[in-house]
């Protein structure tokens, strides 16, 4: 099978049959889950059918409540006289990584700029609550060096018109600047601008590339 790393929240459940006469076979368990997932639009990604001392397994994928789930079912033949099986469900989500004020400062010193990937709604520039921790650490960084000045520059992917992307990137950069000012940083130390889709750092033909291009950069002003 092809291996793929998945990040998210995993739930593991082990089921046991109390009555050996009523238990399903390993193949029945696998097929029941496969059919259930396919009935609401899911996909069977992999199966290894039971044989002799191997209970087999299947890996499934389905979307529920707008979130992607990976499901692994493993019948266990070593639980005689009754059958058991293990069910693992991973709710896929991007794992949040905390970046401290010191991390931002070190990157500024090393590269002269910091790249932020802030979660904006499509076509919007209002900062969401999940960006609060980023702003807090940036304020702490700026407070640690009163001579530090920043140019805040917004960038977009190439979806939409160049004109609307310029405006969107300017507004997003301004939102970051205003949040820093609200946090106590003098406006004299900050400027903001936007370049829209003019300065991509990745291939806009792929979703991953477009995601990398949707960014806000903090440039150290000498």
pTM above 0.85, yes or no: no
| Residue ranges per structural domain of the chain | 8-92, 101-221
Instruction: Assign residue 75 a region (left: φ > 0; alpha: ψ between -120 and 50; beta: otherwise).
Output: beta
Instruction: Report, in angstroms and rounded to the nearest whole number, the Rg of the chain calculated over CA atoms.
Output: 25
Alpha-helix runs per DSSP H in the chain: 26-39, 101-111, 132-144, 162-182, 207-213
Q: Which of 174, 160, 171, 158 is nearest to 206 (CA)?
A: 158
Q: Please give the chain's pLDDT, 222 residues, in tens.
A: 556 777 788 999 988 877 767 778 889 999 999 999 999 889 999 999 988 778 899 999 998 877 889 999 998 765 556 678 899 999 887 655 678 999 999 999 999 999 999 989 889 999 988 899 999 999 999 999 999 999 999 999 999 999 999 999 999 999 999 999 999 999 999 999 999 999 999 999 888 889 899 999 999 998
CATH number belonging to domain 8-92: 3.30.310
Q: Does domain 101-221 have CATH number 3.30.1330.60?
A: yes
């Amino acid at each position: 099978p092809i291996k793929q790393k998945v990040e998210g929240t995993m739930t593991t459940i082990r089921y046991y049959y109390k009555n050996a006469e009523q238990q399903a076979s390993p193949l029945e368990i696998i097929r029941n889950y496969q059919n259930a997932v396919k009935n609401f639009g899911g996909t069977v990604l992999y199966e290894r059918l039971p044989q002799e001392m191997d209970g087999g397994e299947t890996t499934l994928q389905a979307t529920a409540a707008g979130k992607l789930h990976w499901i692994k079912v493993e019948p266990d033949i070593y639980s005689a006289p009754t059958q058991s099986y293990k069910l693992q469900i991973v709710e896929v989500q991007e794992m949040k990584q905390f970046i401290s004020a010191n991390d931002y400062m070190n990157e500024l010193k090393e590269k002269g700029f910091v790249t932020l990937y802030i979660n904006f709604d499509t076509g919007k520039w209002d900062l969401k609550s999940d960006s609060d921790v980023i702003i807090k650490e940036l304020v702490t960084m700026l407070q640690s060096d009163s001579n530090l000045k920043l140019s805040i520059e917004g960038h977009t992917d190439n979806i939409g018109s160049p004109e609307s992307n310029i405006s969107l990137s300017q507004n997003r950069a301004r939102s970051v600047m205003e949040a820093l000012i609200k946090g106590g940083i003098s406006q004299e130390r900050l400027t903001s601008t936007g370049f829209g889709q003019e300065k991509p750092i990745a291939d806009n033909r792929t979703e991953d590339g477009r995601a990398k291009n949707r960014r806000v950069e903090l440039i150290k002003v000498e």
